[in-house]
Structures are given as structure tokens and as C-alpha cells.
Amino acid sequence: GNSVTQMEGPVTLSEEAFLTINCTYTATGYPSLFWYVQYPGEGLQLLLKATKADDKGSNKGFEATYRKETTSFHLEKGSVQVSDSAVYFCALSEWGYKLSFGAGTTVTVRA
């Protein structure tokens, strides 16, 4: 079956530091890949997505590239802000009615 493994947290960074969260996946077909973000006390928001190999998703300074050869979709941001403090989830979907999620990574950015 499909599964997602992402870097365990928590991760604590200083403002303007570089952030990377590793995500690898297992899938039987050709999934779409996603990063969702959950800010404190809120629901899930789509941060970025990629639908095929070598696609790069980007949003709000975050980037992730769909790497089929390494089955990875690592999330990166060059300079984090306090407002980036959140829980980040890597997820995949082969069929629109089901998402498979990683365990989530809690990121705290300190001023």
C-alpha cells in the first residue's frame, strides 16, 4: 500500500535559518504529492503540491521537488520567520478520495 515517512520533530530554528524537512514515500502507481501546513489552533491548509516527476511546487518561499528516482519530496525554505511555526505534513494521493499522510513535523521558529 501507499505510505509516507517524514522527518520526526520537533524542529526548533532561529529566524532566518534554513529549513528542510525530509519526506519519502512508497506508492504503487504515480501519486500526486503535497505538503500541508497546520498553524496553531487551525485546520490544514495546502502549502504546495506536485503532480508528476521533476515538478517543483512552491508557495510562500517554500519549495519541494518531486523526485521519482529517490521517491522523495523534501520541503525547504531558505529563511524562516516566526510566522512559519506550525506542523507540516507530507502527503500523497493516487486517487482523489484518499490522502496518505506522514506523521507530521512540528517546527518552532524563535525570534
Residues in contact with another protein by CB under 8 A are 4, 31-32, 34, 36, 42-46, 49, 51, 89, 91, 93-99, 101-104
Toward another protein, which CB reaches closer, 40 or 111? 40
* Minimal distance, residue 65 CB to another protein, in Å: 18
Toward another protein, which CB reaches closer, 45 or 79? 45
* Minimal distance, residue 16 CB to another protein, in Å: 29
Per DSSP, what are the bridge partners of residue 11? 107
Q: Is-contact 62 34, C-beta < 8 A? A: no
